[in-house]
Amino acid sequence: MGELYVGLMSGTSVDCIDAVLVDFSGETSSGADIVATLGHPIPPILRDAVLALCAPGPSELDRAGQLDCQLGQLFADATLALLENTGIEPAVVTAIGSHGQTVRHRPPGSVAYPFTMQLGDPNTIATRTGITTVADFRRRDMALGGQGAPLMPAFHKAAFSADRDRAVVNIGGMANITELCADGTVRGYDTGPGNALLDYWIGLHRSEPFDRDGAWAASGRVSPELLNRLMADPYFNAPPPKSTGREAFNPTWLERAGEGLELAPADVQATLAEVTAASIADAVHAFANGGELLICGGGARNGDLMRRLRRRLPTWSIASTGNYGIDADWLEAVGFAWLARQTMRGLPGNCPGVTGADRETILGGIYPA
Ligand SMILES: Nc1ncnc2c1ncn2[C@@H]1O[C@H](COP(=O)(O)OP(=O)(O)O)[C@@H](O)[C@H]1O
Ligand SMILES: [Mg+2]
């Protein structure tokens, strides 16, 4: 049969895609026998789009490219510092699972060609650390029609599934739920905003990076009108699969909902906390009438948010994932180490029942050390 490879190339002229089928098992002097060739046309509209994007000048594209490499350096620094603290040599680490920094998430339904973009060049990470790096976890799931998110459910299942219903809620910038059914079924989705808007609002009014323990939110009163307007966002009632990010839940979203309302900043903070709690609680209710709710992510440290959740979920036993064996602050990073391990072992990492992908798949790209 030979040793067949396909080569694809589209050069600076953007004239067409050169496609070749090559046999490397041949006896010719070059060792590369061309079996077939194809000049595949590039539609003019795509060619124009490519050339427009190539136009030099200060652009979002340049900033993204620079940031990709800068963040790659920073992720490498983080790894090296982590290992230095332990005295463990990079050579004994099997792989790094690096999620990268999401700067855009356009899931199916939001644009014609859904995509997600995480920066933090894995080539840089692998080179600087000398450790094989697995990255770009989300896009294979998206290529299969999935949301590419949330990706934690497979790990939550591996770590926390039991013979009774459990929900795992991660409260990061956004929040997501994993539903672990006693029969082994896994469901899940992003519930909506987590801490991102709380961080934004306290940054704007008090120049603090976050609302420690939710103390400021606790000092305010929820505005029923603003709460209703925010909770009226169709995302909350949309059926899964669904995922979201700053593209949807951002300062503009808050400003629009608040138009015409005169509210004290602390009351807005209380209302934002209530939105996070209400959207999570609605998701938990929709799963089951009661059970065990495991919380992780920075939001688990927000006492006010936890009180709001407990008030809305009296039939649920709510505790940090720390009580179940994995520290709530580190759970997601552990999850990406686990996803890297899945990939290195040739095992799937997505849950099609969560993301809506056509099937299970191995996630990510491997960048050898
Ligand atoms: N002590 C605390 N009190 C209240 N909120 C906290 C506390 N510690 C962390 N947070 C919140 O958690 C966020 C970080 O959570 P994290 O799970 O790392 O999110 P992400 O996964 O989006 O990075 C902070 O921005 C902050 O809003
Ligand atoms: Mg974080």
183 alpha carbon to ligand 2 midpoint, in Å? 32
Place of tokens 């949309």: 238
| Domains, the chain, ordered by start | 4-54 (no CATH), 60-148+350-367 (3.30.420.40), 152-331 (3.30.420.40)
The pTM assigned to this predicted structure is 0.96
Q: What percent of the chain has pLDDT over 90?
A: 97
Tokens for 258, please give them: 């608040």
Query: What are the tens digits of pLDDT across the range 120-143?
Result: 999 999 999 999 999 999 999 999
Output the pLDDT for position 322: 98
Residues lining ligand 1, Cβ inside 6 A: 172-173, 195, 198-199, 210-214, 297-299, 301-302, 332
Output the pLDDT for position 213: 98
**pLDDT less than 70: residues of the chain:** 1
Average pLDDT, the chain: 97
26 alpha carbon to ligand 1 midpoint, in Å? 58
| HEC assignment per residue over 74-139 | HHHHHHHHHHHHHCCCHHHCCCEEECCEEEEEECECCECCCEEEEECCHHHHHHHHCCCEEECCCH
Output the pLDDT for position 365: 98
Output the pLDDT for position 26: 85
54 alpha carbon to ligand 1 midpoint, in Å? 38
Output the pLDDT for position 56: 82
171 alpha carbon to ligand 2 midpoint, in Å? 10
Instruction: Give the H or E element holding residue 213.
Output: none
Secondary structure letter of residue 162 according to DSSP: -
Query: What are the tens digits of pLDDT across the range 25-62?
Result: 987 889 999 999 999 999 999 999 999 999 887 789 99
Output the pLDDT for position 248: 97
Output the pLDDT for position 198: 98
Q: Which of 213, 302, 332 to mutate to test the pocket of ligand 1 (most atoms within 8 A of CB)?
A: 302
